[in-house]
Chains A and B, each alone.
Chain A
Amino acid sequence: DTEVTQTPKHLVMGMTNKKSLKCEQHMGHRAMYWYKQKAKKPPELMFVYSYEKLSINESVPSRFSPECPNSSLLNLHLHALQPEDSALYLCASSQSTHLPETQYFGPGTRLLVL
């Protein structure tokens, strides 16, 4: 089973709202990732968690706040977003970050900021 699940599938929010994206995997993977993908562009790395600790933040604005409550769950808290933040947000996981490993992606949350 190489399934990563994400909720919600779609989200529409205003610029003053607070919302959260959720990601879950039950493959025993110890590395989890958030990516942002704009239309017709490749995914861009935002955050990496390794063994539940934040290991990489790709200079993401503070209006995006990641959280890893346990090894199976990854959240992305959203606050005061801008319309240009509208995109597909993808979660991925891999066995670890110690060796090159395949990253498995979820279906994404399509976010629209009004």
Chain B
Amino acid sequence: GESVGLHLPTLSVQEGDNSIINCAYSNSASDYFIWYKQESGKGPQFIIDIRSNMDKRQGQRVTVLLNKTVKHLSLQIAATQPGDSAVYFCAENMEGGSEKLVFGKGTKLTVNP
């Protein structure tokens, strides 16, 4: 759901479950999307990206799905581990180059052992 005030959307899962983190992006002209993971006290870490000419891309344990019709992006994490606990941000590239990367609000994922 939407974050209000200081509260991030949160997702709590059990270790070993699959996680799905959703993101609604704002600009139908955006042509590049990135998922970042940010652990407490660290900078955002690149996880996976996808260009607008694709609707699915897979990495190691992660899959990104892009639905341009409804401007929706999702990140699926298979067999979630405690080390996956972090805040996850989607980011969209608003213009032709990589200059303007706009981040979504973020989702806090907690993995319970």
Contact = CB atoms under 8 A, between A and B. Distances in A.
Interface of A: 2, 4, 6, 31, 39-45, 48, 50, 55-56, 90, 94-108, 110
Given A42-B104, A42-B105, A90-B44, A102 B34 contact: yes
Instruction: Tell me if B's interface is mostly helix, strand, loop or mixed.
Output: loop
A6 to B, nearest CB: 8
Contacts, number: 71
Contacts of A100: 31-32, 51, 93, 96-98
B100 A56 contact: yes
Size class of the contact patch on chain B: 20 to 34
B101 A103 contact: yes
A110 to B, nearest CB: 8
Contact of A40 (B8, B41, B43): B8
A105 B45 contact: yes
Nearest to A96: B98
10 contacts: A6-B43, A31-B98, A40-B7, A40-B8, A96-B98, A98-B97, A99-B97, A100-B32, A100-B93, A102-B98
B42 interface: yes
